Amino acid sequence: MTGLYWLNSGRSKVCSRLPIVSRSSHCSARMSSPIDDLCPLSPAYGDHAPAPPTQALRGDRRADVAIVGAGYTGLSTALHLAERGIRATVAEAKEIGWGASGRNFGQVVPYLKHGPAEVLAHFGREAGERLIEETGKGPDLVFGLIDKYAIDCALRRTGLIFAAHSDAGRAAIERRTEFWQARGAPVDMVTGADAHALIGSDYYDACALERRGGTINPLAYARGLAKAAIALGVEICTGSPVTSLARAGKEWHVTTPGGSVTADAVVLATNAYMTDRLWPGLRDSIIPVRLYQAVSRPLGENVRRTVLPQGQPLTDTRRLVSGVRLYADGRMHVSADGPAFDNSGDADLSKVARRLERIFPRVGPLDWVHRWAGWIAMTTDQYPRLHELAPGLWTGFGYSGRGIAHATMMGRDIAARVAGAVDATKLVFPMTQPRPSLVTRVAPPLIRSLVVYYRMRDAFDDARHRRARARS
């Protein structure tokens, strides 16, 4: 994920202690609706590989499974169903990858938001172990699909850099590295001059190099999944918002303005872009948060060779955004701070400039040619959710900013479950009942306060880090 390290670190446990409430609960705190967000997909991603031709749903049809939403969750479900010979129709309100799948930072990560000890404590040994092991293999699933279906999405398997910008951050990275090394994973701590050379900066004295991960063009990956699914017989209807969901006997009906699909099963794959319309109350399980991205003009030839010279993306242990990537053509891609709940908000690029000035002083002022935003679905405990809401009605969501691998895994596993090929107790993401929470309604003021607090803590840690560097 692009940063928002505070959401990774278990520091926001205040959320999980707040009370659970019934579906009818209401609070006056409101936020913009992600599905109404007009921010377009970025040419920074969209110019790479065209979307396969699709049309809006017209008329009534039957499918084995109807899927709502054409992001990674929906597309991976459709593709894995098709591989099993099960026919799916996908209805997407806008276009393929319109949601977070076409807007993310592109970093494919083999971790959950929490460390292994916390995962084991939360889920117990058996389910926790399965979750840790399988998320460790998440990037392999993504890269395997890219390989199998020849998806053209600028894949770089050069690994990921997680850098420490404080003593506590360094200790956390060391613990995680030791855990995975003990399991034989290709991850190393890199320190001192080696870290400076790997990052192209003497700002950080320690980082982990996680070789299981990599980067992709996320929109091109979504389009590639769609193309592969269509080639196996999946129907993808774009410009087709599902406006109602109903059950009659053993069948489900999903309706769009232009037609309907009758199916034995339905998968809601709408993540942060869900509304209360299709399954009232479900939206109270998540806190949608808007994240910001920007891409610059290419850096000059000489400077670009000095920044992240081996092609890994960089994130660090600060609580808010920290992601930096350098594309093969020399353009710099960053994640940026900005209003967390506002459809019309804009990235704070002056803050990005200050961050880059400290880490990569040779880069100088940058001309940001593309900027965009997208919504992630946070859950109160930052674990993804898998529910069978009613017989034959499935949903998977709540990746809390770590969805490239996890949503792809979720789709694979929902497909296996719909096909009856996996026991409910053996699913990677444990199947649970929805637990709408008061905190999702009161989240905006709460998170705004947390963000202000974390901005201050990041600034404080930054200043302390700079003083320590000046002394050494």
Ligand X SMILES: Cc1cc2nc3c(=O)[nH]c(=O)nc-3n(C[C@H](O)[C@H](O)[C@H](O)COP(=O)(O)OP(=O)(O)OC[C@H]3O[C@@H](n4cnc5c(N)ncnc54)[C@H](O)[C@@H]3O)c2cc1C
Nearer to ligand X, 73 or 89 (CB): 73
* Residue closest to ligand X when measured from CB atoms: 403
Q: Cβ closer to ligand X: 200 or 374?
A: 374
Task: Report the residue number, 303 or 311, with the smaller CB distance to ligand X.
Answer: 311
CB of 316 to ligand X, least distance (A): 14
- Is residue 342 within 8 A of residue 30, CB to CB? The reply is no
At closest approach, how far in Å is the CB of 206 from ligand X? 22
- Please state the closest distance from residue 366 (CB atom) to ligand X, in A: 19
Whichever of 201 and 255 has its CB closer to ligand X, that residue is 255
Smallest distance from ligand X to CB 467, Å: 31
Contacts of 27 (CB under 8 A, 6+ apart): 438, 441, 442
Applying CB under 6 A, the residues found at the interface with ligand X are 1-2, 35, 68-74, 91-94, 98-101, 103-107, 109, 241-242, 269-274, 291, 293, 374-376, 397, 399, 401-405, 407
**Pick 226 or 269: Cβ nearer ligand X:** 269
Place of tokens 């991976």: 76
Q: Report the nearest approach of ligand X to the CB of residue 395 (Å).
A: 10
In the complex, minimum distance from the CB of residue 291 to ligand X, in angstroms, rounded to a whole number: 4
Residue closer to ligand X by CB (options 205, 218) is 218
CB of 300 to ligand X, least distance (A): 26
Minimal distance, residue 460 CB to ligand X, in Å: 25
- Say if CB 265 and CB 64 are below 8 A apart: yes
The three-state (H, E, C) secondary structure of the chain, written as one string? CCCCHHHCCCCCCCHHHCCECCCCCCCCCCCCCHHHCCCCCCHHHHCCCCCCCCECCCEEEEEEEEEECCCHHHHHHHHHHHHCCCCEEEECCCCCCCCHHHCCCCEECCCCCCCHHHHHHHHCHHHHHHHHHHHHCHHHHHHHHHHHCCCCCCCECCCEEEECCCHHHHHHHHHHHHHHHHCCCCEEEEEHHHHHHHHCCCCCCEEEEECCCEECCHHHHHHHHHHHHHHCCCEEECCCCCCEEEEECCEEEEEECCEEEEEEEEEECCHHHCCCCCCCCHHHHCEEEEEEEEEEEECCHHHHCCCCCCCCCEEECCCCCCCEEECCCCEEEEEECCCCCCCCCCCCHHHHHHHHHHHCCCCCCCCEEEEEEEEEEECCCCCCEEEEEECCEEEEECCCCCHHHHHHHHHHHHHHHHCCCCCHHHCCCCECCCCCEHHHHHHHHHHHHHHHHHHHHHHHHHHHHHHHHHHC
The smaller minimum CB distance to ligand X, of residues 204 and 375, is found at 375
For the bound state, the minimum distance from the C-beta of residue 407 to ligand X, rounded and expressed in Å, comes to: 4
Smallest separation (angstroms) from ligand X to the CB of 140:
14
Nearer CB in complex with ligand X: 283/304: 283
